[in-house]
Amino acid sequence: MNTDFFIIIASVIFLMLFAYIYLKDTQNAKQQRLLAMSIDSLNKDVFKLRKEINEKFNALSSKQKNGDEEINNIESVLFDELEKLSDPIKKALETIEDNFKKTQDKTNARLKNAERSLKELVITQNYTEVDQDKIHKLSIDGFNQENIAKELHVSKAEVDFALKMKRLSQ
């Protein structure tokens, strides 16, 4: 009965862990989609800026064929402006990437911790005085160690250990 109860509790915990992981995975997927949309939007803005700069550059170069020096100055100013505009975008993307990595690391750490806790919960079984008393009572009633082990759903080694501990305590 205790093992059935223990299995039910372990199953409920496992299902709760699975649901938690599923929810976190869904949340991470949403964040990834938002990041992808933000990056896509930023790329479109950069593309538009470059296109606009190229159009302005082409317009200036067609109007002033003799002003090569002036065109070079305008070109350098335009590219400097583009660099100034792209630096905050790069920094924002780096910040987003760092935050995403931190969130992913935290999620992985929580998942590992939850898995470790679940393993410990499943591995460690309550071995109480009641179990030892049941083993001892069945032994007195004439059951051999193999039958006791089958009856109580424990290993023969546990039955042997419990009987030895009972003999030592007497």
Q: Which pLDDT belongs to residue 123?
A: 47
Report pTM: 0.34
The residue ranges of every structural domain in the chain are 2-126, 127-170
Q: Which pLDDT belongs to residue 26?
A: 92
Section 75-99 average pLDDT: 81
Count other C-beta atoms under 10 Å from residue 34's C-beta: 12
Instruction: Name the residue with tokens 């089958």.
Output: 150
**pLDDT, tens only, 11-50:** 899 899 999 999 999 999 899 898 889 888 888 888 888 8
Look up residue 160 and give its two tokens.
Answer: 């042997």
DSSP per position, the chain = -HHHHHHHHHHHHHHHHHHHHHHHHHHHHHHHHHHHHHHHHHHHHHHHHHHHHHHHHHHHHHH-SS-HHHHHHHHHHHHHHHHHHHHHHHHHHHHHHHHHHHHHHHHHHHHHHHHHHHHHHHH-----HHHHHHHHHHHHTT--HHHHHHHHT--HHHHHHHHHHHHHH-
**pLDDT, tens only, 88-144:** 877 877 888 888 888 888 888 887 887 777 666 554 444 455 578 888 888 899 989
